[in-house]
Structure 1
Amino acid sequence: MKMPHQPRTNTTATAGTLVPKTEIREGLLIFTLAAIQFTHMMDFVIMMPLGPQLMRIFNISPSEFGLLVSAYTFSAAVAGFLSALFIDRFDRKHAMLGLYFGFTIGTLACALAPTFSLLLAARVVAGAFGGVLGALILAVIGDAIPEERRGAATGKVMAAFSVASIAGVPVGLYLASVTSWHAPFYLLAGLSFLVLLASFKLLPPMRGHLTNAVKQNPFLVLKEILQKRNLQWAMALMITLTMAGFLVVPFISPYMVANVGFTETELSYIYLFGGIATVFTSQWAGRLADKHGKQRVFIISAVLSMVPILLLTNLPPVPHYIALIVTTIFFILFGARFVPAMALITSSVEPKLRGSFMSINSSVQQLSAGVAAFLSGLIVQETASGKLLNFNWDGILACVITLLAVWVVRYLKAVG
């Protein structure tokens, strides 16, 4: 009678070793991931409002500023592709801590950079670690959070973008205005170090994806991912969603200063009000996606988002409160379409491939963002008086690509 029972006990013990379910407290895990996501997003977001100051101090053109933004994303794309070859072989905690340490060092290098060229190089380093970090956060959500709560969990972690906009960007811009553009990066490097220490203590071991894993040639894993039709649609959604956003986002701040009449200090209000709104709306979007269907919520949000895109990219000199209404609605709908899209993409892949796929998907996202930012910099032109031209063409192109994303999402299926 004891013989049939013994293997079952061993299996349970082995699984318990690989999947320490009792150690994973969902709320604490989401909070820790959100803290990591906050610093990661703050590092990326702060470049946009610093645009006018960096263009002035380094005497660079819109296309060179576009390169400064896209250097981070191109580096993240390459790193994400390379990490896909081995990221699923490690405990998620160990991978997270290693990447976050590299990200912290890269951010400190940005703070220390004295010239445009060295800042460009430092952004490459920060992007190499930061881009993979974002993918790993989503992989952890996919591994640890059940499908029925995954949209809400994604919304909470993605709300870190909103918190970065509310707290990080205004503080960063203030420090940059009273000291120099280096100050926000010093602040962020220090904060990242504190979060790194806390994450070492708070993150549980996460080896659940290794429970039934079979060692394979990483290139065969990569081939398997790229050949799956559902994952092809997931990557197509990421490409269209990202390009539609980053044709517009990098030049919001320069356009507001050059064409609408904002000062560099007043740019913080754009991110403050947009961030406050999206703290709530991103989580609502996640809950609505869980309740009414992720595809439906994405399609509605994406179609509605075209209205503020066109308004923003054609905005003439107007009272500040009108401009802030437009930018706030833009950020609300930008986040509302991103949350269900990321929940769909995370659910489109089975757990054994999730880490590798999310790294590849992150590469696709970062490459798309880099191409869009660079293309936007080529489209936008600066006149002798400092005004920016052709931003409206960025908006039209973003709307066309948004409609393409709406078409793509209809073919995406949840499998994990």
Structure 2
Amino acid sequence: MSLPLIALFIAAFAFGTTEFVIAGVLPQVADGLGVTIPVAGYLVSGYAIGIALGGPLLTFVTNNMQRRTLLLGLIAVFTVGQVACALAPDFAAMLVLRMMIAVVHGTFFGITMVVAVGLVPPERRGFAVALILSGLTVSNVVGVPLGAAIGNMFGWRATFWAMSVLGLVASLAIVLWLPRTKGAAAPRPPLAQEVGVLGRQQVWTSLFLMLMLMIGQYVPFTYIAPMLHEVTGLDTNVVPWVLLLNGVGSTVGVFLGGRLADWKLMPSMIVMMVLQAVTLVVLYLASPYPWPMVATVFVWGTLNFAIGTPIQTRILSWTADAPGLASSLIPSGFNIGIAIAAVLGSTMLNSGYGYRSLPLLGTVALLVAALVALQSLVWEKRSGSRPPAAIEAALPAQ
């Protein structure tokens, strides 16, 4: 594994940890800032809005900058933002700071994906995407529990001080290991070209698949804790360990999806979507039974991220000649899907459906996704089109 990819992984781990760690210290943050826990929850939704709306805009505005310089600038804002969060005097300041970091987060992942696939040959693009995504899954398995533990021991502000140190480590890794760009600035395609690549059926169908995947995953996952407690009957102290197992499965799935994307991208994706639809049915059936439910949660987490990797690889491959705007829509699409899923799940619960019914909506979403992916593959075969090969123009030299 190359050092440049490791540097990008460390930075992805830092951003992933700061996004998710707030959940581990939310009660302490609420108490420290003098708000209720539901109000403090806006720190989570505000972050998602920042990624979804601000990320693409900042990506386009900064598209003339060197990729390496831009990444360092984004991580610098991240690091300063963590210090500012640690010193935040009130909730309003904390919310604004979190949304500012989220905008940087959305741009960071869009640019990093483009840089990562440019550091490897085309047949290894799936692995490169998987490695960056693993920064998110590993942050859930390692970063979030550590951040929560620091907050419990030393107070929630200490968690953000620790995040600022992680930002410095990520900056140092990029300075030392990521090669400099070829030119003074990355060439920006015309706006019409940036928008035009989104009209390729492989791109817009992949964005739709991403949306369906997030609905299939987060309609049940948003409410997985009460589901495990009330339906499965697990003790509340056991639930975090089941979620940890889901995170381990997600990490396994990221690299499984990367390998499959480098082998047979579309056939693998379609098969995994069907398997995930079946898994969600099993999740519904197994939910009253602890051990089958725990095992299913692991498989579910594995397949979620195994599907996400080839979807993103496909978007990056088919927008290689104008990747800026499209790459920034990847984290935006994920967060929009998460927000829609939370609303759909809440609507089902408010309509009288129980937690156990939520995976069935996910099943429908995954089956729709599988059908769309199959049709997209048929269109692609009929047209005989091939992905563009101009991505190297805006990437670091090796």
Task: Report if TM-score (shorter chain) is over 0.5.
Answer: yes
Matched, 1:273 2:245: yes
Q: Distance in 2 between matches of 1:254 and 1:112?
A: 33
CA shift digits 1:165-194 (9 cap, x unpaired): 332233233334445454443322321222
After superposition, the Cα gap between the structure-2 partners of 1:156 and 1:363, relative to the gap in structure 1 and judged at 3 Å, is closer
Name the structure 1 match of 2:301: 331
* Contact 1:87 1:356 (8 Å CA) reproduced: no
SS at match of 2:337: helix
Counterpart code for 1:366:
N
Decide which of 138, 158, 166 is 2:141's aligned counterpart: 166
Name the structure 1 match of 2:365: 401
After superposition, the Cα gap between the structure-2 partners of 1:248 and 1:179, relative to the gap in structure 1 and judged at 3 Å, is farther
After superposition, the Cα gap between the structure-2 partners of 1:404 and 1:56, relative to the gap in structure 1 and judged at 3 Å, is farther
Q: Distance in 2 between matches of 1:272 and 1:367?
A: 24
Q: Distance in 2 between matches of 1:107 and 1:99?
A: 12
After superposition, the Cα gap between the structure-2 partners of 1:199 and 1:338, relative to the gap in structure 1 and judged at 3 Å, is same
Q: Distance in 1 between matches of 2:339 and 2:315?
A: 20
Matched, 1:305 2:280: no
Counterpart code for 1:405:
A
The equivalences for 1:187-226 within 5 A come to 187-207=162-182, 213=187, 216=190, 218=191, 220-226=192-198
Name the structure 2 match of 1:17: none
Moved more, 221-230 or 79-88: 221-230
After superposition, the Cα gap between the structure-2 partners of 1:237 and 1:148, relative to the gap in structure 1 and judged at 3 Å, is same
* Contact 1:278 1:335 (8 Å CA) reproduced: yes
* Contact 1:281 1:332 (8 Å CA) reproduced: yes
How far has the Cα of 1:408 moved from its partner? 2.7
Name the structure 2 match of 1:415: 387
SS at match of 1:415: coil
After superposition, the Cα gap between the structure-2 partners of 1:332 and 1:361, relative to the gap in structure 1 and judged at 3 Å, is closer
CA shift digits 1:121-144 (9 cap, x unpaired): 333122111111111111112323
Name the structure 2 match of 1:285: 257
After superposition, the Cα gap between the structure-2 partners of 1:146 and 1:175, relative to the gap in structure 1 and judged at 3 Å, is same
SS at match of 2:387: coil
Name the structure 2 match of 1:233: 205
Q: Distance in 2 between matches of 1:389 and 1:51?
A: 28
How far has the Cα of 1:255 moved from its partner? 4.2
CA shift digits 1:176-217 (9 cap, x unpaired): 444545444332232122212222222212347978x4763x
How far has the Cα of 1:381 moved from its partner? 5.7
Name the structure 1 match of 2:391: none
How far has the Cα of 1:248 moved from its partner? 3.1
After superposition, the Cα gap between the structure-2 partners of 1:304 and 1:230, relative to the gap in structure 1 and judged at 3 Å, is closer
* Contact 1:151 1:340 (8 Å CA) reproduced: yes
Moved more, 33-42 or 262-271: 262-271
* Contact 2:206 2:311 (8 Å CA) reproduced: no
How far has the Cα of 1:109 moved from its partner? 4.1
Decide which of 170, 185, 188 is 2:160's aligned counterpart: 185
After superposition, the Cα gap between the structure-2 partners of 1:166 and 1:39, relative to the gap in structure 1 and judged at 3 Å, is same
SS at match of 2:60: coil
Name the structure 2 match of 1:358: 327
CA shift digits 1:66-100 (9 cap, x unpaired): 75433212111222221343343221101111112
Q: Distance in 2 between matches of 1:92 and 1:118?
A: 30
SS at match of 2:294: helix
Matched, 1:40 2:15: yes
Counterpart code for 1:324:
V
Matched, 1:372 2:341: yes
Decide which of 244, 261, 264 is 2:216's aligned counterpart: 244
CA RMSD of aligned residues (A): 3.5
Moved more, 200-209 or 308-317: 308-317
Name the structure 2 match of 1:340: 310
- TM value normalised by structure 1: 0.77
Q: Distance in 1 between matches of 2:278 and 2:29?
A: 30
How far has the Cα of 1:337 moved from its partner? 1.0
Counterpart code for 1:32:
A
CA shift digits 1:103-134 (9 cap, x unpaired): 23334444445665554333312211111111
- Segments of 5+ residues of structure 2 without an aligned counterpart are 381-385, 389-398
